[in-house]
Amino acid sequence: MEDALPALVLNSEALKPTPMNDTPPTPAFPASPASDEHLMLAFSKGSAESFNELFLRYKQPIYGFFRRRTADTNHAEELSQETFLILLRAASRYEPRALFRTYLYAIAFKILRAHRRKSAFRATFFGQTKSIPDPAKQDSTESGLWVRRAVEKLDRIDREILLLREFEQLSYAEIADLLQLPINTVRSRLFRARTALRNLLEPSAVPPSNETLQSAEQVALPSALQTIPQKGIRL
């Protein structure tokens, strides 16, 4: 089935910015007659076209997921490709116990954790603390640095929920399933994260420019979330 893998070419250009507000997120891709779950089941039975469609739908969202959590664009591209390779190899074991999008992001989280462990090992035993570019040097605009530093100050779980909702555009139910939290907890913590971020971005310190929130989309926003339970998701 690995012969069905399309050319995993990712576009490193910045994704369109998503405003941080209470407006329900718009879909990251147009509606299609075939659901993600239907396509994945079809691919598990040998349909290469189904995998191609899933790749086209999710290549940019998955790249954006890693770009906001790693400091290097090359790493983001490599981890994105690894996500789709694992999806490809696990197709025969796929069972629609959760939404496909939740299943895919669970794979991405697993890869991200492994990447962080390897980076920590290299930094500890080989002293490669400078091997990964500093995100601050990648976005030198005052507004971009301001937003990134504000997001970094959020509680680690609150920060992850905020990113999953505002940038990955997951629903409350999907976030609850992925992080294994009650949906009311997701709602309350998201409200807390938005409020905290709004307070941190008050103009008392540095007046925001018109592109402040837009700059956040182009900044690698690290996440401290280390453990994502996989209940209900079989990889």
- Tell me the two tokens of residue 147: 């937003």
pLDDT digits over 149-164, tens only? 788 888 889 999 999 9
50 within 8 A of 40, measured Cβ to Cβ: yes
Could you confirm whether domain 34-125 is CATH 1.10.1740.10? Answer: yes
Euclidean distance between CA atoms 203 and 201, whole angstroms: 6
Residue 38 has pLDDT above 50, yes or no: yes
* pLDDT category of residue 68 using cuts at 50, 70 and 90: confident
Q: What is the CA radius of gyration of the chain?
A: 18
Selected residue with higher pLDDT from 110 and 134? 110
Average per-residue pLDDT for the chain: 73
Lowest mean pLDDT among 110-124, 180-194, 221-235: 221-235
- Tell me the two tokens of residue 173: 């139910």
Euclidean distance between CA atoms 58 and 147, whole angstroms: 26
Residue 12 has pLDDT above 50, yes or no: no
Q: Where are the domains of the chain?
A: 34-125, 135-216
Selected residue with higher pLDDT from 97 and 210? 97
pLDDT digits over 104-131, tens only? 999 999 999 888 888 766 666 666 544 4
- pLDDT at position 121, please? 61
* pLDDT category of residue 37 using cuts at 50, 70 and 90: very high
Selected residue with higher pLDDT from 36 and 29? 36
- pLDDT at position 191, please? 95
**Nearest-5° angle of CA 41, CA 105, CA 193?**
145
Selected residue with higher pLDDT from 75 and 146? 75
Residue 3 has pLDDT above 60, yes or no: no
Residue 41 has pLDDT above 70, yes or no: yes
Residue 212 has pLDDT above 70, yes or no: no
Mean pLDDT of 131-144: 47
Residue 135 has pLDDT above 90, yes or no: no
Residue 218 has pLDDT above 50, yes or no: no
- pLDDT at position 141, please? 52
* pLDDT category of residue 80 using cuts at 50, 70 and 90: very high
- pLDDT at position 124, please? 65
Q: Class of the 135-216 domain?
A: mainly alpha
Q: Residue 232 has what DSSP assignment?
A: T
- pLDDT at position 206, please? 47
The candidate with the shortest Cα–Cα distance to 228, out of 69, 47, 12, 52, is 69
